[in-house]
């Protein structure tokens, strides 16, 4: 189902711009009525079920699998192992570009981490496959697992993130720290975290000769298509991927994962369609996670409370066999004015699955450390933490000296503080209590995230009846992309939204780029906008060159596309309907393509970021140390907002993720075995409704003519980056205890019963 049609809830827009309207989700009715079909909902004729058998040790090799016992089990069709599997055309460990990571595809008997696939059982039913996998009864030759940030020797990585320098220096940090009137040095730790989207990774794969049909969740259809094509030695055009709906992704579905490829291999092995769906506990390992960090910040200030130096060093972890290094220290590049800034990283290799992109990679763990350190610096200077941030406001990007393409952070501080009531905040901690006697604290955190764009394509069509069609292989993982992109499509065509058919979610449509980095609306949106502009320009050429048209000869002044008509720019009393132009030309439709992507020239001149300020109130039980977030206000400036309703939803989600980061979320590793102890949603804690307080979001008006023609920056991840720090700072203000290890635990807050 790649075509989502307009619902009644959003059909009220008939005139004016569709962009900027708070329309409800076009796919909302389908989702709440159960009509939205996710990957694992597909059940094709003749389909078999595949189940992973996974390693229970973190390091070693498999010495025995009872394959015969599994095969004898009723319903089991075959067992795929390192010695019995389809041949691949490409080494799964090969890396030919920065977005390619190594996959565990039963290459050999080596175990790299707990929960790694060691075999795949294929059966007539899910139950038979599950029981067959249990009968394999693997035995291992084990080695001691390397666990934790001190689990191995560290090294300086060649790069962090996607090609970012591992070490950056601006000015003489050591001299500036030596000369500073005041200094702080503090170390902050963040744990490993796992994406835990509602929808697990799943695939339904069917081969027809060398043609492959797939249902699977994907944040990057074209990249998945190319990776599969390389592994199986077939043209990308032979692969058709359907991914109309994703039940969350947060980065984990940006790249095709090992289990998804194993499902394709299983289908090729047995010559029948195969469905493979990960169980919840199997998602802790093979599909990425956020690496743990230990970050040390040294901050210097002069006697007036101005920053003189920021030194941000991050220690993080990657797997034993691949290279993804969390760029946590890079968070200090952009926010606060300082004449000397240094950031650096070191890495240890552990026996885990490879950490990968997870919502606000780098900025999320980096900002909670930076924002905590900035609060500590403000307290040492005897300043209100918001006043300290304003005193050290950066008018240009500190690390590069580039001007910002736009920056309305001052307005975010002002509007958020006013809404929150920040002016009533006492400077000292432990000064506020509520009517129940709970300690109350107020904290602030600055939010930032880069305004990114990737390459994308789109196709736009105007039909003979005056309606429009726009196609782009866009991805909607719950953020409302299909609605926002349809709004851009309608405006690009000069049509009402009800007159536009929008197709997305399959790999046979133009490549919409990857839905990641808070860049999807800008990326796919610009391709769609440009396709609409191109096709209306073609239509205008038809009319202006036709003597029978009222627009004939308007080429010097141009025309405007609006409400399904073309109007002379200099005299709008002269106009013509789209349908009339095409009918007279004898055309059933007219089409054009459009591309989207970052302007390298603008990128070389300007620093491009979204900004925000988050204010949090917490209440702490003075006897138990239990922390509850009671109130949050976020003010964000993220360029042009395509759909305020959807943007607010994304910002709410980011702020809730900040609550999770500060107070709940942590993957706990057994130091003896290297196995996760809480690989489930019962013990891996994330906020539930009772943990989410009153949330208030303000979107601050911001015009940015440089990021792209539509002025879009993106809102998906910025809400995380200020919120976690605001909560941590509020906990200090409530209790006087500065917690530097996250999530904050009751045991960290041994609060006396009386002051």
Look up residue 499 and give its DSSP letter: G
Q: Between helices 578-585 and 520-544, what is the axis angle to 10°?
A: 60
Is residue 276 within 8 Å of 129, Cβ to Cβ?
Answer: no
Q: C-alpha dihedral over 542, 544, 547, 548, to 10 degrees? A: 70
Q: Which of 2, 52, 58 is nearest to 26 (CA)?
A: 2
pLDDT at 4: 27
Does residue 15 surpass a pLDDT of 50?
no
211-215 and 239-242 strand pairing: parallel
Dist CA 438 CA 434 (whole Å): 6
Is residue 519 within 8 Å of 482, Cβ to Cβ?
Answer: no
**Catalytic sites, residue numbers:** 717
| Mean predicted confidence (pLDDT) in 478-504 | 96
CB atoms within 10 A of CB 417: 19
Dist CA 686 CA 664 (whole Å): 6
| Mean predicted confidence (pLDDT) in 8-23 | 63
Dist CA 8 CA 23 (whole Å): 11
Dist CA 534 CA 158 (whole Å): 43
Question: Which residues fall within 8 angstroms of residue 134, CB to CB, at 6 or more apart?
Answer: none
Q: C-alpha dihedral over 723, 727, 728, 733, to 10 degrees? A: 140
pLDDT at 556: 76
The pLDDT confidence band at residue 16, using thresholds 50, 70 and 90, is: low
pLDDT at 124: 98
Look up residue 76 and give its DSSP letter: E
Q: Which of 296, 308, 264 is nearest to 366 (CA)?
A: 296
pLDDT at 98: 80
The pLDDT confidence band at residue 752, using thresholds 50, 70 and 90, is: low
Domains of the chain, CATH where assigned = 3-36+456-597 (3.30.365.10), 40-144+198-283 (3.30.365.10), 165-195+289-401 (3.30.365.10), 402-452+598-755 (3.30.365.10)
Measured in whole angstroms, the distance separating CA 700 from the mean position of its chain's CA atoms is: 22
Dist CA 319 CA 423 (whole Å): 47
Percent of the chain at pLDDT above 70?
97
Q: Which of 550, 531, 532, 551 is nearest to 541 (CA)?
A: 551
By CB atoms closer than 10 A (0-12, 13-18, 19+), residue 203 is buried
pLDDT at 96: 84
- Please indicate whether residue 424 or residue 15 has the higher confidence score (pLDDT): 424
Dist CA 750 CA 626 (whole Å): 10
Dist CA 483 CA 489 (whole Å): 10
Dist CA 362 CA 295 (whole Å): 12
pLDDT at 693: 86
Is residue 636 within 8 Å of 612, Cβ to Cβ?
Answer: yes
Dist CA 62 CA 68 (whole Å): 16
pLDDT at 751: 53
Q: Which of 285, 296, 288 is nearest to 346 (CA)?
A: 296
Question: Which residues fall within 8 angstroms of residue 72, CB to CB, at 6 or more apart?
Answer: none
Token code pair at residue 498: 């009800």
Look up residue 506 and give its DSSP letter: B
Does residue 1 surpass a pLDDT of 60?
no
pLDDT at 753: 53
The pLDDT confidence band at residue 13, using thresholds 50, 70 and 90, is: very low
Percent of the chain at pLDDT above 90?
95
| Mean predicted confidence (pLDDT) in 58-72 | 98
Report the sign of the C-alpha dihedral through residues 199, 200, 206, 212, in that order.
Answer: positive
Q: What is the mean pLDDT of the chain?
A: 95
Does residue 620 surpass a pLDDT of 60?
yes
Phi, psi (5° rounding) for residue 618?
-120, 155
- At 155-197, the pLDDT tens digits run 999 999 999 999 999 999 999 999 999 999 999 999 999 999 9
- At 139-153, the pLDDT tens digits run 999 999 999 999 999
| Mean predicted confidence (pLDDT) in 50-75 | 98
Dist CA 222 CA 302 (whole Å): 52
Instruction: Return the SS3 of 69.
Output: helix
- At 563-578, the pLDDT tens digits run 999 999 999 999 999 9
341-350 and 154-155 strand pairing: antiparallel
Dist CA 655 CA 85 (whole Å): 45
Look up residue 582 and give its DSSP letter: H
> pTM higher than 0.85, yes or no?
yes
Is residue 199 within 8 Å of 278, Cβ to Cβ?
Answer: no
Does residue 6 surpass a pLDDT of 90?
no
Dist CA 181 CA 363 (whole Å): 29
Look up residue 129 and give its DSSP letter: H
pLDDT at 713: 97
| Mean predicted confidence (pLDDT) in 208-237 | 97
Does residue 498 surpass a pLDDT of 50?
yes
| Mean predicted confidence (pLDDT) in 575-594 | 97
Is residue 49 within 8 Å of 275, Cβ to Cβ?
Answer: yes
Does residue 404 surpass a pLDDT of 70?
yes
Cis peptide before 595 (omega within 30 of 0): no
Instruction: Return the SS3 of 403.
Output: strand
CB atoms within 10 A of CB 622: 19
Question: Which residues fall within 8 angstroms of residue 101, CB to CB, at 6 or more apart?
Answer: 95, 255, 322, 324, 354, 356
Dist CA 186 CA 302 (whole Å): 18
Dist CA 279 CA 117 (whole Å): 12
Rg (CA), the chain: 27
Q: Which H or E run includes 300? A: strand 293-301
- At 646-690, the pLDDT tens digits run 999 999 999 999 999 999 999 999 999 999 999 999 999 999 999
The pLDDT confidence band at residue 484, using thresholds 50, 70 and 90, is: very high
Q: Which alpha helices (DSSP H) does 573-717 contain, by range? A: 578-585, 600-605, 644-663
Token code pair at residue 702: 């911001």
Measured in whole angstroms, the distance separating CA 655 from the mean position of its chain's CA atoms is: 14
């Amino acid at each position: 189902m790649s075509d989502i049609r307009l619902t009644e809830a959003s059909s009220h827009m008939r005139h004016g711009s569709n962009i900027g309207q708070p329309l409800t989700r076009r796919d909302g009715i389908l989702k709440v009525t159960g009509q939205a079909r996710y990957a694992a909902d597909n059940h094709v004729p003749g389909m078999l079920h595949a189940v992973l058998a996974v390693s229970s040790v973190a390091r070693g090799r498999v010495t025995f699998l009872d394959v015969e016992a599994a095969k004898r089990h009723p319903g089991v069709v075959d067992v795929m192992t390192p010695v019995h599997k389809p041949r691949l055309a490409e080494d799964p460990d090969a890396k030919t570009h920065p977005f390619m990571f190594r996959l565990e595809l039963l290459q050999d008997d080596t175990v790299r981490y707990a929960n790694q696939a060691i075999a795949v059982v294929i059966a007539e039913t899910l139950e038979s496959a599950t029981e067959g996998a249990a009968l394999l009864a693997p035995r291992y030759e084990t080695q001691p697992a390397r666990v934790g940030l001190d689990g191995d020797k560290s090294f300086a990585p060649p790069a962090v993130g996607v090609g970012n320098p591992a070490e950056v220096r601006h000015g003489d940090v050591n001299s500036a720290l030596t000369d500073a009137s005041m200094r702080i040095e503090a170390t902050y730790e963040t744990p490993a975290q796992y994406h835990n989207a509602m929808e697990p990774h799943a695939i339904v794969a069917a081969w027809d000769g060398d043609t492959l049909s797939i249902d699977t969740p994907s944040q990057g259809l074209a990249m998945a298509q190319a990776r599969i094509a390389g592994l199986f030695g077939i043209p990308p055009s032979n692969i058709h991927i359907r991914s109309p709906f994703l039940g969350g992704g947060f980065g984990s579905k940006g790249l095709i994962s090992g289990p998804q490829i194993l499902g394709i291999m299983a289908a090729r092995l047995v010559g029948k369609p195969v469905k493979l769906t990960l169980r919840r506990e199997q998602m802790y390992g093979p599909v990425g996670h956020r690496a743990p960090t230990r970050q040390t910040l040294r901050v210097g200030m002069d006697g007036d409370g101005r920053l003189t130096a920021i030194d941000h060093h991050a220690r993080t972890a990657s797997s034993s066999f691949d290279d993804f290094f969390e760029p946590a220290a890079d968070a200090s590049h952009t926010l606060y004015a300082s004449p000397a800034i240094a950031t650096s990283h070191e890495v240890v290799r552990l026996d885990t699955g490879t950490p990968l992109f997870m919502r606000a990679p780098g900025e999320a763990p980096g900002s909670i450390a930076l924002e905590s350190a900035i609060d500590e610096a403000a307290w040492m200077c005897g300043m209100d933490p918001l006043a300290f941030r304003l005193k050290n406001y950066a008018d240009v990007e500190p690390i590069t000296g580039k001007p910002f393409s736009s920056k309305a952070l001052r307005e975010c501080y002002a509007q958020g503080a006013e809404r929150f009531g920040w002016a009533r905040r006492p400077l000292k901690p432990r000064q506020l209590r509520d009517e129940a006697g709970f300690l109350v604290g107020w904290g602030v955190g600055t939010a930032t995230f880069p305004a990114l764009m990737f390459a994308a394509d789109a196709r736009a069509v105007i039909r003979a009846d005056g309606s429009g069609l726009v196609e782009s292989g866009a991805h909607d993982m719950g953020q409302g992309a299909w609605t926002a992109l349809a709004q851009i499509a309608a405006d690009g065509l000069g049509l009402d939204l009800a007159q536009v058919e929008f197709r997305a979610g399959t790999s046979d449509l133009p490549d919409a780029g990857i839905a990641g980095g808070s860049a999807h609306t800008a990326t796919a949106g610009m391709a769609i906008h440009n396709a609409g502009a191109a096709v209306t320009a073609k239509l205008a050429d038809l009319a202006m060159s036709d003597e029978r048209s009222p627009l004939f000869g308007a080429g010097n002044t141009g025309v405007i596309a609006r409400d399904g008509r073309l109007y002379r720019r200099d005299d709008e009393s002269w106009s013509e309907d789209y349908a009339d132009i095409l009918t007279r030309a004898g055309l059933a439709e007219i089409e054009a393509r459009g591309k989207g992507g970052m302007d390298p020239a603008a990128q070389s001149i300007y620093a491009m970021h979204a900004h925000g300020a988050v204010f949090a109130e917490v209440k702490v039980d003075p006897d138990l140390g239990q922390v509850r977030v009671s109130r949050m206000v976020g003010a964000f400036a993220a360029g042009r907002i395509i759909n305020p309703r959807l943007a607010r939803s994304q910002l709410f989600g980011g702020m809730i993720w900040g609550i999770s980061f500060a107070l709940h979320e942590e993957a706990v590793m057994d130091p003896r075995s290297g196995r996760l102890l809480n690989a489930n949603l019962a013990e891996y804690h994330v906020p539930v409704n009772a943990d989410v307080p009153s949330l208030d979001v303000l979107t601050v008006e911001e015009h940015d003519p440089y990021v792209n023609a539509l002025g879009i920056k993106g809102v998906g991840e910025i809400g995380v980056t200020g919120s976690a720090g605001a909560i941590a700072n509020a906990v200090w203000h409530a209790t006087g205890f500065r917690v530097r290890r996250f999530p904050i635990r009751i045991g960290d807050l041994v609060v006396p019963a009386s002051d």
